[in-house]
């Protein structure tokens, strides 16, 4: 039983890492693009260190949630990494938090947060559109007319909080990971000294 759980976890880990490899552009691929070549030529934006990793995660989460446009997210995150000196691959990967499965929940949460912060989100029309099975055009009209200010404010608030939480969590994970590597190195060094 425990073996099948380990196989399931390793299979899931391989699928997620495979998806990340396919979705997140490599530095070599970006060098070929004339629009992004200046970013790809800056090696400090591709390094993994204690400062660039949290910055990249924060930028990716902020842009990924606030922009909500698939093609714009990765490019926007890469461009924002320049002034913040964040890691571009991690920023691009963090934008994948908003995907077709999570977008409806994020938008609904943004409307709720925008309404909570004082803007009219017009939930009655929202529920009526869901009940009637409205088309994309009707949803677009609703978003532009009454819900847009509440949604934009909600997205801004959710994106900011997500970026701050991601920044703090990645700092903690970075510290844990480097301390673990240091302990493993020291353990190997002590084991080697005992053998001699």
Domain boundaries, the chain: 2-195
152-188 pLDDT, tens per residue? 899 999 999 999 999 999 999 999 989 998 888 888 7
Check whether 126 has a pLDDT greater than 90: no
Report the distance separating Cα 86 and Cα 47, nearest Å.
9
- From residue 165, give the alpha-carbon distance in Å to each of 57, 58, 59: 10, 8, 12
Report the C-alpha dihedral over residues 182, 185, 190, 196, rounded to 10 degrees: -160
Check whether 59 has a pLDDT greater than 80: yes
Local confidence band at 132 (pLDDT 50, 70, 90 cut-offs):
confident
Report the distance separating Cα 21 and Cα 18, nearest Å.
5
Q: Name the residue among 39, 107, 38 with its Cα closest to residue 67.
A: 107
Check whether 19 has a pLDDT greater than 80: no
Report the distance separating Cα 95 and Cα 92, nearest Å.
5
Local confidence band at 16 (pLDDT 50, 70, 90 cut-offs):
low
Q: Are 73 and 63 in contact (CB under 8 A)?
A: yes
pLDDT value of residue 56: 94
Q: Are 75 and 63 in contact (CB under 8 A)?
A: no
Report the distance separating Cα 90 and Cα 50, nearest Å.
13
pLDDT value of residue 39: 67
């Amino acid at each position: 039983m425990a073996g099948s759980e380990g196989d399931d976890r390793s299979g899931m880990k391989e699928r997620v890492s495979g998806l990340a490899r396919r979705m997140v552009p490599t530095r070599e691929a970006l060098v070929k693009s004339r629009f992004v070549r200046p970013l790809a030529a800056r090696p400090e934006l591709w390094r993994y260190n204690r400062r660039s990793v949290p910055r990249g995660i924060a930028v990716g989460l902020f842009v990924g949630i606030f922009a909500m446009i698939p093609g714009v997210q990765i490019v926007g995150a890469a461009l924002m990494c320049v002034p913040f000196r964040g890691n571009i691959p991690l920023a691009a990967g963090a934008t994948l938090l908003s995907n077709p499965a999570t977008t409806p929940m994020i938008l609904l949460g943004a409307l709720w947060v925008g309404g909570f912060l004082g803007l009219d989100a017009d939930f009655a029309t929202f529920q009526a559109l869901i009940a009637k099975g409205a088309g994309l055009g009707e949803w677009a009209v609703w978003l532009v007319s009454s819900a847009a200010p509440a949604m934009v404010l909600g997205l801004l608030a959710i994106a900011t909080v997500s970026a701050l939480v991601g920044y703090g969590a990645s700092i903690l994970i970075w510290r844990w990971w480097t301390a673990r590597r240091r302990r493993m190195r020291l353990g190997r060094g002590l084991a080697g000294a005992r053998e001699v």
